[in-house]
Structure 1
Amino acid sequence: MPSSTSEQCHDLAVIGAGPAGLAAADAAAALGLRVALLDAGARLGGQYYRHPAPELGAARPEKLHHGWAAFARLRDRLTANPLVDHLPGHHVWAAEAGEPWRLHATRGPEAGDRATVLARAVLLATGAHERHLPFPGWTLPGVVTAGGAQAMLKSGLVLPGRRIVVAGSGPLLLAAASSLVAAGARVPAIVEATSYLGYARGLPVLVGNPGKLAEGASHGARLLRHGVRLRRSSAVVEAHGTDRVTGVTVARLDARWQPVPGTERRIACDALAIGHGLVPQLDLAVELGAETVAGPDGAAALKVDAQQRTSVPGLWAAGETCGVGGADLALAEGVLAAHSVAGRPAPARELTIRRRRRAFAALMAAAHAPGPGWTRWVTDDTDVCRCEEVPARAVREAVEALGAADARTVKLLTRAGMGWCQGRMCGPAVACLSGGPLGRPDSRPLSCPVPLAQLADPDA
């Protein structure tokens, strides 16, 4: 297949087909804009609305989702709208600002699997990825992320195991455990590192978001019916097994997330679903020089104004790229961004949703921010960077013996973060072990792996 450059210049290119991207493309097309909707996935929905492939014959895919009806309406409208060009399987690896913008995407491994899309404006709706905090045994087969366990269920109708411990921190744990037990798995415990007391300081915010309370209550009721125990202020500090995880050690944590000696307890399981929240996916934006802000949990997010405009002219952002806050917020911000691009007044309903959900997002991030003491459960032999097999010992030696003062220097000295994932899995952990904040991700000219033949294509 030859590489291609679209001759048509779209009014708006939306990168990402999750909630924010779908809502933005739908609203922009309704306002008369010609829209290109690019996404690495094969089907609309992104990570949040991930669903089984048709050949799997899922009878009721809506049962795997919260808010499926909203997705179905957006999908049907977008599919039928002639102003929307859906470009699946397009992983955008670089964006060139200008008049027009040029978006470069890879569609596969061959030399000709390259495409360039032109647009007068660009909206980033690239979502977020999970934050990983390593511990002894986290590389064992059967240890997956909480979001990964949900993805396996939503897209493949499979479970990572039959007896699954769900651990980490953040509301995703409740949603993941609820989905797993509904699919027939046994969850002996949800191990939450925080105490939930942080939410008590934001009572007015909770009152202003009754939908979030109802959603949490729904998950809680299901988990209660299945006898799932919630262990607060606790963490999995080690996973056990040889060919596969067979159990985990859980310990109580103090207020700084340091394990309390003598509180360890072992729980048998054949899978562990673990996650410590989400961090915005900012690769494209950072390379373009877009300004970022640090959230209450230390994660960097794009800085946008009241109209969802970034600091880069012609570049808008919506959803998790502006700070993790859930699907309702992403949908609202997508609509607001589309109206801004079209030069139309912002809808009052979406403005209200954004205000309330952003307040809840800040409360949630503060309540589940990792404490500094989590590094105490990382032994020197624990691999921090899985791709390059860099142990914590090497990172600590780089800081203590070689004088590394930041994550970038540690990376240069140890190769932590230089592997296939480009630091997406180990970046937050390396930053913390280096003694610094999570901070802004590194600027990279390529936001994903690209075959050399595509980069060398003289016709692109």
Structure 2
Amino acid sequence: MKHAQTPRIAVVGAGPAGIRAAQTLAAAGLVPVVIDEGARAGGQIYRRPPETFVRPPESLYGSEAAKAVALHATFDAMVRDGQVVHLPRSSVLAIGDGRLQVLGEDGCHWVAYDRLILATGATDRVAPVPGWESAGVYTLGAMQIALKAQAAALGRRIVLAGSGPLLTLLATQLVKMGAGVAAVLDTASLAQQAAGLPGLMARPVFAARGVAMRARLGRLYRAGGTVERIETDATGPVAVHWRDGRGRAQRTACDAVGLGWHLRAETQLADLAGCPFTYDAAWQQWLPRTDHMGRAGNGVYLAGDGLRLLGADGAEVSGRLAAAACLADLGRPSPDTTADLRRRATLARFAAGIARAFPWPADMVRRLPGETVVCRCESITAAQLREVVSYGGAEANRAKSLGRVGMGRCQGRYCQLAGAEIVAAAGGLEAAAAAGRLRSQAPVRPAPIGAFLGEEAIAK
């Protein structure tokens, strides 16, 4: 039976979730438009270097090399065979009236859709530290991108600080390539990490890999410490001041610092698309709410870390589920999802273990010295934010309106979680959730004014 009209389906993101969603749709005979900020598909976890890069996949992706290569090949074949329309180096700035405003290399244009799958992934979850606004201080993700894309270590004597699997993984990768790693400071104590073991044992092979990487770091790795400040001069970081698990003051000399506390879901587009949100106490952040297949309502589906922080394997699963839900809602044959639903349940138990083992350092953030810059875009300090709360109340959007925290280029990506902790603490609220959630607004990415001149509407 032929359908009267081929539905227009847009997929935002070409990481593991977006690729598997596109593959499922293509297998059903549809041709989705895949919009991605990267020059080549793969997302952050399977980020591809330039085509002229000669390092073997094993050096880029380690034990996941075969999986990454297969995923890349799958997407490239779909593009080559005309099964998907790929819009690389393109950012979605806004959503409205069944259209996406897309900023590409040739300026802005509009992409119309009947169904929308958002696979926007996640970014580093960063906690402010005195001195973090200095040049030479990066997120862990930024350091890993430089490593994968250019085989470059951002520093000669590097201190990595934060918590979560990426901290250990990046440290191991840097050490393997011969970079000068001075210390790996994990704010999660060994007791906290042990508390997450029941969940982590849902994937014992992955848990064992983490233990093996930790062992290779040896005395570089320190657990249960507190990062107090980054000492800097005119050229950048000079040292990191921290306290070990026994409270003893330590100073580690360095010329570069990487910070990161696992991940923060990219949810701005989900917000603009009208998706409902709920506060996830385990991850201590606001996440979109969907049904078990990723349906958010109004023809919008969510997949990957932008929905739930389940890692690369979980992203692939949720991408297939979202596409299957989309097909079912269109009245088209959809694949059996029984195995994927079971797999996702296992991955969710593992993710819960990660969240418990490597918690967000809420207490550390709430106690930040007043001079600490919280919002780097607008140079708003902790003291200024607390002052705003004293006369404006402990509500995140009011603090944004009155104090400009979260109004800069990053639109709160790096400061909103820490800002909510400080607002809540200053207002006497026990949990950051009580301070509310910052409302997203377009454009969700910085864009030149000239890009909005002469926009063209295109429908794929």
Whether TM exceeds 0.5 here: the answer is yes
Deviation at 1:116, TM superposition (A): 2.0
Corresponding position of 2:410: 421
Equivalenced residues, count: 434
Paired residue for 2:43, among 43, 46, 56? 46
Q: Tell me the distance in 2 between the aligned counterparts of 1:104 and 1:177.
A: 38
Deviation at 1:370, TM superposition (A): 2.4
Matched, 1:268 2:253: yes
Superposed CA deviations along residues 262-294 of structure 1, whole A, max 9, x for unmatched, are x21101112111111211111111122211222
Do 1:191 and 1:232's aligned partners in 2 also have CA atoms closer than 8 Å? yes
Matched, 1:64 2:60: yes
Do 2:117 and 2:302's aligned partners in 1 also have CA atoms closer than 8 Å? yes
Q: Tell me the distance in 2 between the aligned counterparts of 1:9 and 1:270.
A: 56
Do 1:381 and 1:393's aligned partners in 2 also have CA atoms closer than 8 Å? yes
Relative to structure 1, the CA distance from residue 356 to residue 38 in structure 2 (aligned partners, 3 Å threshold; closer, same or farther) is same
Q: Tell me the distance in 1 between the aligned counterparts of 2:225 and 2:254.
A: 17
Deviation at 1:189, TM superposition (A): 2.1
Q: Tell me the distance in 2 between the aligned counterparts of 1:339 and 1:218.
A: 37
Superposed CA RMSD? 2.2
Do 1:26 and 1:74's aligned partners in 2 also have CA atoms closer than 8 Å? no
Write the letter of the residue equivalent to 2:354.
M
Q: Tell me the distance in 1 between the aligned counterparts of 2:183 and 2:220.
A: 5
Relative to structure 1, the CA distance from residue 351 to residue 454 in structure 2 (aligned partners, 3 Å threshold; closer, same or farther) is same
Matched, 1:364 2:340: no
Matched, 1:346 2:331: no
Q: Tell me the distance in 2 between the aligned counterparts of 1:211 and 1:449.
A: 41
Do 1:175 and 1:219's aligned partners in 2 also have CA atoms closer than 8 Å? yes
Superposed CA deviations along residues 18-49 of structure 1, whole A, max 9, x for unmatched, are 11111111222122221111101111112111
Deviation at 1:217, TM superposition (A): 3.0
Do 2:321 and 2:337's aligned partners in 1 also have CA atoms closer than 8 Å? yes
Write the letter of the residue equivalent to 2:318.
E
Deviation at 1:246, TM superposition (A): 1.4
Paired residue for 1:241, among 232, 237, 248? 232
Q: Which structure 2 residues correspond to residues 179-328 of structure 1 after superposition, within 5 A? A: 179-224=173-218, 228-242=219-233, 243-252=235-244, 260=247, 263-295=248-280, 296-310=282-296, 312-328=297-313
Q: Tell me the distance in 2 between the aligned counterparts of 1:32 and 1:148.
A: 38
Write the letter of the residue equivalent to 1:64.
L
Matched, 1:397 2:383: no
Q: Tell me the distance in 2 between the aligned counterparts of 1:405 and 1:376.
A: 14
Deviation at 1:92, TM superposition (A): 0.8
Helix, strand or coil at the partner of 1:324: coil
Of the structure 1 ranges 318-327 and 449-458, higher mean CA displacement relative to structure 2 is found in 449-458
Write the letter of the residue equivalent to 1:351.
L
Write the letter of the residue equivalent to 2:369.
T
Do 1:336 and 1:346's aligned partners in 2 also have CA atoms closer than 8 Å? no
Matched, 1:90 2:117: no
Q: Tell me the distance in 1 between the aligned counterparts of 2:15 and 2:161.
A: 25
Q: Which ranges in structure 2 are unaligned for 5 or more consecutive residues?
A: 329-333, 425-430
Helix, strand or coil at the partner of 1:365: helix
Do 2:108 and 2:455's aligned partners in 1 also have CA atoms closer than 8 Å? no
Do 1:143 and 1:272's aligned partners in 2 also have CA atoms closer than 8 Å? yes
Paired residue for 1:32, among 18, 29, 40? 29
Do 1:19 and 1:330's aligned partners in 2 also have CA atoms closer than 8 Å? yes
Q: Tell me the distance in 2 between the aligned counterparts of 1:15 and 1:391.
A: 34
Deviation at 1:345, TM superposition (A): 4.1
Helix, strand or coil at the partner of 1:273: strand
Corresponding position of 1:432: 421
Percent identity between the aligned chains? 36
Corresponding position of 1:257: none
Q: Tell me the distance in 1 between the aligned counterparts of 2:447 and 2:249.
A: 45
Q: Tell me the distance in 2 between the aligned counterparts of 1:265 and 1:105.
A: 48
Q: Which ranges in structure 1 are unaligned for 5 or more consecutive residues?
A: 1-7, 255-259
Helix, strand or coil at the partner of 1:351: helix
Of the structure 1 ranges 424-433 and 70-79, higher mean CA displacement relative to structure 2 is found in 70-79
Do 1:93 and 1:447's aligned partners in 2 also have CA atoms closer than 8 Å? yes
Do 2:195 and 2:356's aligned partners in 1 also have CA atoms closer than 8 Å? no
Q: Tell me the distance in 2 between the aligned counterparts of 1:353 and 1:77.
A: 21
Write the letter of the residue equivalent to 2:272.
E
Relative to structure 1, the CA distance from residue 395 to residue 459 in structure 2 (aligned partners, 3 Å threshold; closer, same or farther) is same
Paired residue for 1:155, among 145, 149, 156? 149
Do 1:167 and 1:235's aligned partners in 2 also have CA atoms closer than 8 Å? no
